[in-house]
Each structure stands twice: as C-alpha cells, then as structure tokens.
Structure 1
C-alpha cells in the first residue's frame, strides 16, 4: 500500500512537467446567428466546466493534452457532444439547434460517462431540485417519482428504495462516489442520507454487479454530490421550507467557492417533524423525526491531476410508530426510536496521462445505530422507568465501520474501442455494544476484478464486460451453546463470475433501440446467515441460516425510445430470473411473544416494465404533458407471489414552464394525478391492498426585491386528503394509513 501511495504522490507532483492549454470558442444559434448566452461547456472526464458570455464566447484553462468529450448544453437547445483533441489548432465554432427536448446530462453511474441518448444502458435520472419542487419531502420520497422505483416506508421518517420489486441488500446505494454501508439489510433501516447537497439521482434498473459487485443484483441508486462552482466564483445560498402535515420545518444554507485550482464548499441542513396526520385527521403516534446533515468538500485540480475530498455527517432521530394513540404535535423523541449517526469520508483522485487516466477512490464509513426500546412497563411509575431506561443506554447499538476502494484504469482509445480495467474492494467490521444482539460481531472482506469495453460505430454501440468477486465473512461466537440467542462462530467464502453484454442501435435519428443482458449476484448478508434474536423495529424473532448460498440472477432488458421536436415516447421491458432467492418464512413458533421467522432459499422470477409519453409541442415550449406506467410481477418457483412487490401505477402530469416578463421569472406550475391499482398478487403472509388515486400540484418562480433574487415554490401532495394504505408500508399490518394532505412552502435566495 505504501508503494502505491508513493507512486501516486510522485505522479501528482510530476504534473508540473506537462504543458497547460486553453480550450476556447464561440456558441451560436445557426438559424438566427445570435450568440447563445449562458450555455454550459463541460469536460466529463476532467469535471471542468465553463459558461458562455453574452457574446457566446467561453474559455476553459489548464487542460492537459489528450482526447476528450466536450458536452455543450443550454435550455431550449439540443445538447451536443464533441470529440476534441487538445491542444486545439484553432478556436471552436459550435452551433446549438433549438429543441423542446429538455437538456441532457452526463450519466455518472455508468463507466464511460456519456449522455443518456448515447448510453448503452438505460438509466433514469432526475435532479433533486425537480424532485423537491414536485412535492418530495425527503430523498426516499423523491426517488418514487422515477418510473420503476418505489419505497418501503415506516411512517414518514424511514424509506428504502425498491427497484423493480427488489430492495434492501439487493439494491446498492452510492453517495460521494463510494458504496453506502449502513446495516441496510433491515426493512426499518432508512437511507441515512439527506437530499441536501445532492445534485441529482441516477438509477440503474437491473443487475449492475459488473460495475459494483455484490448487492447490485437488483440495481443501483447513485447520488451525485453538489458540484463546485466554476473557477473564480463564489456562491452563498440559504432557504427554508415548511410542511403543514407534520408541522415540519427545514432550514438549509450553503457556501461554495472556487479559484483556478482550489475549491471549497460547505452545506448544512436541519429538519424537524412532528407525528404525521392521516386523511382521517388522526396523528400516527411516534412517527416524528429530526435530522442534522452537514456536507463539506475540498477540491484541487491542475492539468494532470484532480482530487476531491468530501465529508458528510448525518444524525437522525426517528420514532418507530406502532399505533394511532396519543395525539400530539410534540417533536420530542418518545420510545421506541432509532438514533443513527452516519459519517462518510471519501477521497476521489484522477490522474491524467496522454489519452488515458487512472481513477482512485477511497471511502471510509462509520455507522452508529442505536435503538431505544419501550418494554411496556406497568402504568404505575411508567414514565420514571422509561426515563431510567433511556439513561441506561440503548437496548441495541451496532457500530459498522467500512473501508472501501475503487481503482480504474481508462485505457487510451484503440480505434473505436474504449476499455476500463478495475479493482474494487472492501473491509468491514460490525461490533455490538448494546444489551441486545441481533447479529454477532463480524468482519467482511471483498475484492472484485473487472474489465469492460465500449465499441462505437456511427449507428450502433456495443458494450461488454466480465468480473470476478470473492467475499469472506467471519463472525465471532457469542453466548453459550444450547441457550437462547446463542451465536455460533461462522466463516464462509463466496465467489462469483459475472458478465454483461449490451447494444444500442440508432435505427434512425429519432428511434433508439437498446438491448441488454447481464448477470448479477448477492452474497448472503450477516443477518441472513447468523440472526438469532428479536428486533424492536420488525416485531419478530429472526433465525439465520448459515448454509445459504449466493443469489445469482440473469436479466434481459429491451428498451425502445422515439423522440422528435414535438414528443418523446419510450417503453422498457425486463425479465429477471433469480436463483437461490433468500426470503423469510414463519416457523409457527413464538419466542418472547414474537413470531419466529427463518431464512430460506428458492428460485424466483420478476418481470414487467415501464412505458411513458412526453408531449412538448415545438411552437409551445412552455407546455409539457407527461404520462407513465410501471408494472412488476414477482413469484417464487413454487408459484407463490414474492412479498413487497409494488402495485401497478399510472402517473399523468401537466407541466407549464415559461419566462415572460412579469413579477415572477422562471415560472412553473404542475398538476399530477397518480393512480395505483389494487395489489392482489400477494405473498401468503400479506393481505391484498385496495387501489387509490392521489392528486398533487405546485407553482413556483423567482422574484426580486431591491436587486436580491428569491425563489418561491408552493407544492401540495394528496390534495384531496385521501385515506389510503400503500402496499409497501410497513405499518399496513397495523392498519395505519399513509400521510394525508401536505402543503409545502419554500423560500430560497442566493448571493
């Protein structure tokens, strides 16, 4: 390791030996000849950007020699990608053609960082700004606006992503470029992340084990952090949001500055909510929560090296609701509740050579999860005993420490081939400190080796790759053999080979066909192998199975996309075969009044897809009509339905965006109707869920007061105050409805 660090350091300090170059040019509209002001010019490989001035001119300094992609985008114009060689022989003359299609962004979660229209794999992407202004109260809530993505919820404070019917350890979450590890096996364990300081969300729907290893069997939720401002600029912003349903407030502020080489940002967010109110105007007792989130980053870049050091601290106190009981608007925590501290340190390095580059990402994560329980003492003296219990400490406390690394070498282009070789790994320890133990002290070691290549022709692109993974899991003995809650020592090795092959074919300029096939795997997690105890959040006694094998799947995916200047239409179908699918099965026994569940395996399959339509008439740029449908079915080989499969849903949105001169600038308004059908294809331990329809709407825009610009937005969800229970709500067995009507008002400004 020391030799590797020495080599990297030597490379970094040797950058001064290379010459620096400037990329400059002019952007114009070919129909009118008018310069395009405010266009973004971006090097994805370098993560350097610039912006065109009133004359359409731009200039980006300190670019090292090599071949690059240059992405040019501006609102109202079609995004362009140019392949250029630095140094340039002359300034660039770039033409952008008007288009009603919204600006495309570079997809970061796939290996070659291309625009979505150029990607072989279909990736859903949305900015957090759009998610929030469409009514999302949290990150877990916002991702459900993406087709094929839902959330398993426990009240309004806990949400876990579900991609095409798969969740928990089958969906991998990436933040700050490193994989999140936060005891995500638990249904009642949330993301532990805030949308604050997250610029956009990308979702790979399908096995991504080739790129990310174990736990990416069902897909990847990739969170792109806030970018630094352009060189020689500074930005300060602040905002506040109020939610009527939970009487919740959220305050946010950020500072972002950049010089020619060094960059710095700092963002803080604080949110607090009381118990949420249902459509019946009853508050769900102990669904309150609060959150503190702090993100900071320091970056450095010259012509041969880019480094980015980021830190995120997130503290959440989340009530665990069990009933509709005491009606209160208090925001003070009551038993039972979780207290979760997440620390994420990431260091992203990129070293540029002539026509190739080396990426090195290192991440350290510390997750401290505490659960304070209510043992339901007798009424007399209850409050005193409850306070005493909290003072004694948590009933459950687990420390999860994770060190992971990701090294990729992007080779120089050979003809039409681009190739990446990589090594990824992880070392993790789980340590218990509470009086109760759900899983034993243990360690996990991962290593994966991968290679992937992209072949480009004018009308067709191919992408293929192979990967090998090994995981070693070792747990310690705890307790005495033969007694309840005894944990036997365990050591297991899991290996897997995986591959992917995909093709994108431009039938003609407006029609794109994508076909992808990929295998994925997931090694059993510590809970599935070793659990032996009751858990407050699940109200069940779980028994692990030390003989479990890898889950292994194959998914085929077909996507069709047609777009012109007036409308877009897409359809995406998939079939996912999962061997050795791991599931919980009741034994019929009870321990400490909790039903006993044991982990078993069986083959399973999931199939379905998404389809959508987006109409945006070219002469009427301000009008958008959007419709989508998502469907997924899941069943075991024996014919039983899989649990927690989302119901079929239809979403229709009317959206207006315009900017005529008036009191408000950059105005928008939307009206969304989402209809969820009844879910009758249920597991034998579930019950059917009736269908429901929810109405949402919102308006917003910018206004100025004495030269200071403010952004104002008002959004409402479940405007008809419908009383309903979502199929993926963990409170459904208790008959507790989801959240009723909520109005959110937000005010922001920047300096």
Structure 2
C-alpha cells in the first residue's frame, strides 16, 4: 500500500491482512515542497482529431513491444500493419495503404525520404519517440497530400522541467538474429534553458527461419542452417536538442542523423544461385547486395503565446542519401553503386490557434521544396525539383458537453519539374548511342478539399463519431517518370506522365461503449477514390522497348489510373474481470476493388485478430513493485483476394508471451521486459513481406529482452 498526501513524505508498506485484525494507524512525516512552474499542455483540437479513429502509444508502451523498428512496434494496434524486408527494414501500413498514401510526421515535420519504395524504411531512431499518435482515415486536410490513408505523428519526449537532470539507458536483445541494441540519453534544464542528447545503435546478424529450403520459379534452393544468408545489418544514430522556455513561449532546435546499412538476401534483386546461398562462416557480415541510408535533419519548433491564442512554427532541412549496392547484372559498371538517390528537402509549417468560449480555430500554412538527384550504373528515378504549398482553416464548435461539430477547408498548389534523362548504350566498351529513359516533364497541380464531422456523447459511457472528408494525393515522381527494372519489386516499372491528382471521398463512423468492466470500440470506414494510381501489367516486355537498354527482358508494369473503392473496419474489446486480470482483442478487415479491372488492389492485408491477456500482481517489495505476465495470439486469415500476377497467401496462427516488471533503487528506476514470438516455431508467409515474392517464410521463434535504466534528479 502506498499513502501520499500533499506536504508529507509518501509511505509505502507491505502487510498481510487477516480477518480478525483491528484498525491500523499510519503516520506521515511532514515535508517542505517547493513547486516549480507548473504548465499544463493539452493537444488543442484534440476532440476534432478524435473524429477519426486514433491510437496512442507512449514511450513505455513502445519499449515493451521489444521491436527493433517503429513500424513493427505498431503492428499490434488494429488497422496497422508493416511491409517488411527481412527484420531490419519495415514500412507502416494503415488500413491497407502505405508508401505515398500515408504521412509520417516527426517533430511536426513530414519525414521525407524515398518512401515510394517498398524496401525503404522510416529512417527514424526507434528509441527516440516519446509518444506516437496514429490517425486512421482521411487526413489530407490538416497534413497535406499523401494523407489519404492516415498519419503517424511522432512526438519527442516532453521538455525537461527546470532545475532537473535525467539520464536513461535502454538495451535490447533478440535471440533470432542475435540483435544487440543500446540507446543512451541525457537531458536537463536550468533557468529556462534545456537540452537533450541521445546516442543509439543496433547490430544484428542473419535471421533464422523454420525451413531448410525454398522454391523460386519452380527451382528448389537450400537454406543452410535455417538462416537466410546476407540479412545482417547495423544502425548508428544520434540527436542533439537545445532550447529555451520563457513566459512568451518556447523554442528549440534539434540536429539528428540516422544511418543504417542493411544486407539484402541475394534473391531480393536477382535470380538466386546455389553458390550464393552457401554459408561463408560469418552470420554478421554485410556483403552485396546491400542498401545504405543516411538521413540528416535539422528541425526547429517555436511556440509563441498571445494570451488565450498562440502560434506554432515548425521548420526543417532534411538530406536523405540512399545507396543500393549490387553487382553489375551483366552491364558495364564501375564499383557496386547501382542507385544513389540524394534528396534535399526544406519544410515550414505555420499554425495559428484561436480559442473562444465554444469555438476553436486553426489557421495553417504549409510549404515544402525538394530537389532530388541520382547516381549509379542503374536507372530508376530521374532528377527532379518539386514545390508544394497548402493553406487550411479548421474549426470546431461545441453545443454543451454532448455535441461537437468540426470542419475545415484546404487549398493546395504544387509543381514538379523532372529532368529528361538519356542512358548511354555501350558496345565493345564504346558509347554507340543514347536511349531516352524519360522526357522532360513539367506538371502543375491544384486542389480544394474539405471535411465535416461531429461527436455526440449523450452519456459518459457512450459516444458516436462521424466524419466525411475529401482527400487528395499528387502523383509522385516515380509514378510519373520511373523507367527501369525495379529489383525491389522484381519487375520493370514505367511511369505515366499523363497522371492526374488522386482524389478520395471517405466516410468514417465509430462508436465507443463502456459497460462496467467492458469497453468496446467499433470503427467502420468506406471510401471512393477517383483516378486511383496503381501499377498494372502490360503486354509489353523490356526487350521489345530496346534490347540493348533492357537485356533482362522482364514484363513491363506501367502506372495507370482507375476508380476504386475501399471499405472495412476494426473492432476492439477491452475486458477487465478483476483488477489483476485484463483481456484485449482487436479484429480488423480491409476490402478494396479496382472498379475497372474488377480485381482487388495489390498488397491488401488479410483479415486478422490479435488477442492478449495480462495478469498483474503486486510483488510487495521496495525494489520491484509489480509483475506483469501476458499471453497473446495472432490469427491471420487466408488472403485469396489478390491482384493480377499476385500470389494468394495462407493463414496462420502465432503464439506469443511476455513478462515485465518495474524496479526502483534510490534515484535509479527502470523496466525489465521479456517477450516471445512464434513460440510454436510455425512456418508461415506474410502477405505484405517483400520476401513473400520469393516464397521465403517469416522469422522463426524469437525471444527478446529489454532493460531500461532511468536516473533523475529534480
């Protein structure tokens, strides 16, 4: 039992209560407490954003997942999945949408890399976020183009309190690929000035699978020692933040760098051969093919207070340098650099918040400029320059505590200039002619969009929410001008310069009901997309375009536009029969259809149910306060609704377990968590995995342990 009272030291005691025991007396010791400045910060417009289904994970919940990537840590939430390339690269999926159809905001700025690629991860330190908010549904109104499917907002830890110091150390180990991860952070504040420094790193080896062979194009190839050769990798990350907090508001600046080098299974970019699969005696080396990504970012956030109103200004510079290394694939090549993509981005977001008695408003302006260049002996994406701008106004009005209306309008303008690119054709080591990969492309886009929604909560334990919105997405550079063999998708991809803006009209409905110890949430969504952009197979082969430029002769897939529909929903249950026992379950389903081909859209997540049960008990000691035990089961259905040339994937069941505790020794506190995944060592395929195309199974049984230490003074 823990007893606290203002002005007195807390008292923590453990005792055994017997039926015949009489009254007990506890005496607290007085304590003088000096309160520093107290500032309460709540997300303005929170009710409005909650019109769309929203999930939130704090830093502790994120660490308890024991996942090495942010995208994989979110997979237990309803409606969230990940596209995996091995175990070190993961891309988030919201309700079946990913790539350029969802936005990832980090510190208020849209994360800009080469997100159009399936094998391109988030390029964000998984130890960095203090809180993650996932908004599911049409979010273009507030966040801009690419927000059709939803938004993932990554927030840094809170600003340190004045006259405080804190140091943390986080460690992570995975048994499957012998991953070792560590992150150290120190932060403090004095006289209104604060700082935070974090250093992180991860190293992992080739990962194990519950199989000794796989089938590629009817060829049965070996997997030696149950390990996929050349799937190791490493990360090295840092961030430094400093700022000032005064009565007028606050301002801070963060400099960060994410660096990852990850090996790719030899079959990921070409035909695997038996000799390439033979073990080399080292499960941690990184050989070709591999990818190397470096994301450098300088971001600033300023908040200016104007009485009951305030202004927020986010500005950032990002430099994303991506390299893909492989052999020459039979071409004349110098070195191993197949693709070198350098993307420079300048961003600015300005928001003005107005607050009245029953009405709140946000006026926002977003600006972004980009320049992308290319290197390497292979060609996919041309050099281009892009500018985007958007102005929006959001308002919410409440009629008492039971009814709230929210709506807004947005206007956007952008342009993209893509350089013409020609590739030299060699014969006998001499340039004989040039092949034009793409002509010069200049496109302008303008768009108007809006949304309207309401919240009705007649009872404290029951509420209804509805939101209708129009969203949009401008064609990306790869959709307009890509032209080459994309080894990440095992096909020749060709752009389409005639593409128009993609438009969506979406309806979201949700209800929350609480009955005693049971809480239920039902979220339904439906959408109609006009000019939906997708890759479609053609009757043309690469060799027919130019046999010298495309000797590999694969089938050409070209970006096209048709109308499409999306629908589905999530059902969440949270039942706590006793204060020690808690049961949670989440069901999700996504349906889509190409209205032209009458076929499903590619890479649609299969229906699934994730359930877990926790038992929490007090340990009764001063060092360890409680123990939390959990068991979970993921049931994934068969996915037979596939696009043309896409394989169906069978269903599977994954059993997992977890145990965790919190400890405190003086001013040192921490968490110890252990998790187990795929306890039965089941062989299964993930429909969203890039390696699914190679008939490669997912990782085998894995045990993870994380240990966190916190030292704080105030």
The TM-score with structure 1 as length reference comes to: 0.82
- Asked whether 1:632 is paired with 2:632, we answer no
CA-CA distance at 1:157 after TM superposition:
1.8
Separation in structure 2 between the aligned mates of residue 430 and residue 175 of structure 1, nearest angstrom = 21
Contact 2:266 2:289 (8 Å CA) reproduced: no
Separation in structure 2 between the aligned mates of residue 566 and residue 55 of structure 1, nearest angstrom = 38
Structure 1: 5+ residue stretches without partners: 1-28, 40-52, 64-69, 72-105, 379-384
Contact 1:139 1:195 (8 Å CA) reproduced: yes
CA-CA distance at 1:564 after TM superposition:
5.1
CA-CA distance at 1:35 after TM superposition:
5.2
Q: Over residues 153-205 of structure 1, what are the superposed CA-to-partner deviations in whole Å (9 max), with x where a residue is unaligned?
A: 11112211111111100011111110011010111111111211111221111
TM-aligned CA distance change 1:259 to 1:420, over 3 Å? same
- Asked whether 1:284 is paired with 2:260, we answer no
Which segment is superposed worse, 733-742 or 433-442?
A: 433-442
Separation in structure 2 between the aligned mates of residue 158 and residue 239 of structure 1, nearest angstrom = 21
| Equivalent residues in 2 for 1:87-98, closer than 5 Å | none
Partner of 1:711: 671
TM-aligned CA distance change 1:212 to 1:56, over 3 Å? farther
Partner of 1:472: 415
Partner of 1:155: 86
Q: Over residues 435-466 of structure 1, what are the superposed CA-to-partner deviations in whole Å (9 max), with x where a residue is unaligned?
A: 33311111001110100001122211111000
Which segment is superposed worse, 226-235 or 549-558?
A: 226-235
| Equivalent residues in 2 for 1:338-349, closer than 5 Å | 338-349=291-302
Partner of 1:171: 102
Contact 1:565 1:616 (8 Å CA) reproduced: no
- Asked whether 1:403 is paired with 2:336, we answer no
CA-CA distance at 1:349 after TM superposition:
0.7
Separation in structure 2 between the aligned mates of residue 565 and residue 624 of structure 1, nearest angstrom = 13
Separation in structure 2 between the aligned mates of residue 56 and residue 557 of structure 1, nearest angstrom = 52
Separation in structure 2 between the aligned mates of residue 727 and residue 38 of structure 1, nearest angstrom = 56
From 239, 248, 252, give the equivalent of 1:304: 248
Partner of 1:651: 610
- Asked whether 1:204 is paired with 2:135, we answer yes
Number of equivalenced pairs: 650
Separation in structure 1 between the aligned mates of residue 48 and residue 634 of structure 2, nearest angstrom = 29
From 101, 124, 129, give the equivalent of 2:55: 124
Contact 1:62 1:302 (8 Å CA) reproduced: no
Separation in structure 1 between the aligned mates of residue 286 and residue 322 of structure 2, nearest angstrom = 16
Partner of 1:364: 317
Separation in structure 1 between the aligned mates of residue 299 and residue 47 of structure 2, nearest angstrom = 23
Partner of 2:26: none
Contact 1:644 1:728 (8 Å CA) reproduced: yes
From 129, 141, 145, give the equivalent of 1:214: 145
Separation in structure 2 between the aligned mates of residue 372 and residue 417 of structure 1, nearest angstrom = 55
Contact 1:35 1:54 (8 Å CA) reproduced: no
TM-aligned CA distance change 1:657 to 1:137, over 3 Å? farther
Provide the secondary structure at the position in 1 that maps to 2:458: strand
Separation in structure 1 between the aligned mates of residue 282 and residue 76 of structure 2, nearest angstrom = 29
Separation in structure 2 between the aligned mates of residue 264 and residue 147 of structure 1, nearest angstrom = 36
From 361, 364, 385, give the equivalent of 1:422: 364
Separation in structure 2 between the aligned mates of residue 38 and residue 683 of structure 1, nearest angstrom = 65
Q: Over residues 47-105 of structure 1, what are the superposed CA-to-partner deviations in whole Å (9 max), with x where a residue is unaligned?
A: xxxxxx99898845287xxxxxx57xxxxxxxxxxxxxxxxxxxxxxxxxxxxxxxxxx
Q: Over residues 372-431 of structure 1, what are the superposed CA-to-partner deviations in whole Å (9 max), with x where a residue is unaligned?
A: 1123679xxxxxx9xx96xx3522111100001111111241x41111111111000001
From 284, 302, 307, give the equivalent of 1:354: 307
Contact 1:135 1:716 (8 Å CA) reproduced: no
Separation in structure 1 between the aligned mates of residue 423 and residue 682 of structure 2, nearest angstrom = 52
Separation in structure 1 between the aligned mates of residue 9 and residue 565 of structure 2, nearest angstrom = 48
Contact 1:160 1:189 (8 Å CA) reproduced: yes
- Asked whether 1:460 is paired with 2:413, we answer no
Contact 2:587 2:610 (8 Å CA) reproduced: yes
Contact 1:568 1:613 (8 Å CA) reproduced: yes
Contact 1:650 1:676 (8 Å CA) reproduced: yes
Separation in structure 1 between the aligned mates of residue 7 and residue 358 of structure 2, nearest angstrom = 32
- Asked whether 1:495 is paired with 2:446, we answer yes
Separation in structure 1 between the aligned mates of residue 238 and residue 695 of structure 2, nearest angstrom = 36
| Equivalent residues in 2 for 1:500-579, closer than 5 Å | 500-563=451-514, 566-579=517-530
Separation in structure 1 between the aligned mates of residue 166 and residue 501 of structure 2, nearest angstrom = 48
Partner of 2:219: none
Which segment is superposed worse, 695-704 or 176-185?
A: 695-704
Q: Over residues 241-266 of structure 1, what are the superposed CA-to-partner deviations in whole Å (9 max), with x where a residue is unaligned?
A: 21110011111111011124111001
Q: Which runs of 4+ in 1 moved over 6 A?
A: 36-39, 53-58
Separation in structure 2 between the aligned mates of residue 279 and residue 58 of structure 1, nearest angstrom = 59
Structure 2: 5+ residue stretches without partners: 11-28, 212-224, 425-432, 543-549
Partner of 1:181: 112
CA-CA distance at 1:702 after TM superposition:
3.1
Provide the secondary structure at the position in 2 that maps to 1:129: helix
Partner of 2:73: 142
The TM-score with structure 2 as length reference comes to: 0.86
Contact 1:319 1:333 (8 Å CA) reproduced: yes
Partner of 2:384: 442
TM-aligned CA distance change 1:36 to 1:705, over 3 Å? closer
Contact 2:566 2:593 (8 Å CA) reproduced: yes
TM-aligned CA distance change 1:283 to 1:33, over 3 Å? closer
Q: Over residues 208-230 of structure 1, what are the superposed CA-to-partner deviations in whole Å (9 max), with x where a residue is unaligned?
A: 11101111111111111222332
